[in-house]
Structure 1
Amino acid sequence: MKISIIGFGWLGKPLAHHLISKGHQVMGSATSEEKVNLLQREGLDTVLLKLCPHPEGLGFQKLFDADVLLINVPPRTRSAAPSFHPEQVKFIKAMIERGTVRKVIYVSATSVYPDLNQVAREEDPLTKSSTGNQALFDAESLLQNDATYALTIVRFGGLLGVDRIPGRYFSGKDNVVGDTPVNYIHRDDAVSMLTWIITKELWGEVFNGVAPLHPMRSQVYEKNAKDLGFAPPQSYAEPGQNAWKEISANKITKTGFEFSIPDPLDFWYEG
Structure 2
Amino acid sequence: MRYLPKTFTMKISIIGLGWLGLPLARFLAQQGHQILGSTTSPEKHRKLAEEGIDNVLFRLDPHPSGNGFNRLFEADLMVVNIPPKRRSMPETFHPEQIKYLKTLIQQAGIGKVIYTSSTSVYPNTNGEVTESTKLCPTNTVHSAVYEAERILWAEKDYKLTVIRFGGLLGMDRVPGKYFSGKEDVAGDIPVNHIHQEDAVRLIAHVIDQELWEETYNGVCPLHPEKRSVYERNAQEMGFEPPKSYRTKDLPDYKVVSSRKIRETGFVFRVEDPLEFYYSPK
TM range (shorter): over 0.9
Matched residue count: 271
Deviation for aligned residue 1:239 = 4.4
Q: 2:15 aligns with which of 6, 15, 39?
A: 6
Alignment partner of 1:244: what SS?
coil
Q: 1:85 aligns with which of 94, 103, 107?
A: 94
Deviation for aligned residue 1:61 = 1.1
Corresponding residue number in structure 2 for 1:242: 251
Structure 2: runs of 5+ lacking an equivalent: 1-9
Residues 213-243 of structure 1: CA distance to partner in whole angstroms, max 9, x if unpaired?
A: 0000000000000000000000001146220
Corresponding residue number in structure 1 for 2:65: 56
Deviation for aligned residue 1:110 = 0.3
Residues 80-104 of structure 1: CA distance to partner in whole angstroms, max 9, x if unpaired?
A: 1110000000010000011131100
Q: Supply the AA of the counterpart residue of 1:116.
A: T
Q: Does residue 72 of structure 2 align to residue 70 of structure 1?
A: no
Q: Does residue 143 of structure 2 align to residue 134 of structure 1?
A: yes
Alignment partner of 1:260: what SS?
coil
Corresponding residue number in structure 2 for 1:110: 119
Identity of aligned residues (%): 51
- Matched-pair contact (CA < 8 Å) for 1:52–1:88: yes
Corresponding residue number in structure 1 for 2:43: 34
Q: 1:46 aligns with which of 52, 55, 58?
A: 55
Q: 1:17 aligns with which of 16, 23, 26?
A: 26
CA distance in 2, matches of 1:239, 1:221: 19
Residues 52-92 of structure 1: CA distance to partner in whole angstroms, max 9, x if unpaired?
A: 11011011111111111000000001111110000000010
CA distance in 1, matches of 2:203, 2:108: 22
Alignment partner of 1:169: what SS?
helix
Alignment partner of 1:104: what SS?
strand
Corresponding residue number in structure 1 for 2:174: 165
Corresponding residue number in structure 2 for 1:149: 158
Over 3 Å off, 4+ runs = none
Give the TM-score normalised by the residue count of structure 2: 0.95
Corresponding residue number in structure 2 for 1:122: 131
Residues 184-234 of structure 1: CA distance to partner in whole angstroms, max 9, x if unpaired?
A: 000000000000000000000000000110000000000000000000000
Corresponding residue number in structure 1 for 2:223: 214
Q: Supply the AA of the counterpart residue of 2:193.
A: Y
1:177-188 matched pairs, under 5 angstroms: 177-188=186-197
Residues 127-171 of structure 1: CA distance to partner in whole angstroms, max 9, x if unpaired?
A: 011111000000000000001100100000000000000000000
CA distance in 1, matches of 2:160, 2:197: 23
Q: Does residue 266 of structure 2 align to residue 260 of structure 1?
A: no
Q: Supply the AA of the counterpart residue of 1:110.
A: T
Corresponding residue number in structure 1 for 2:7: none
CA distance in 2, matches of 1:184, 1:80: 25
Residues 19-60 of structure 1: CA distance to partner in whole angstroms, max 9, x if unpaired?
A: 000000000100011111111111111000011110110111
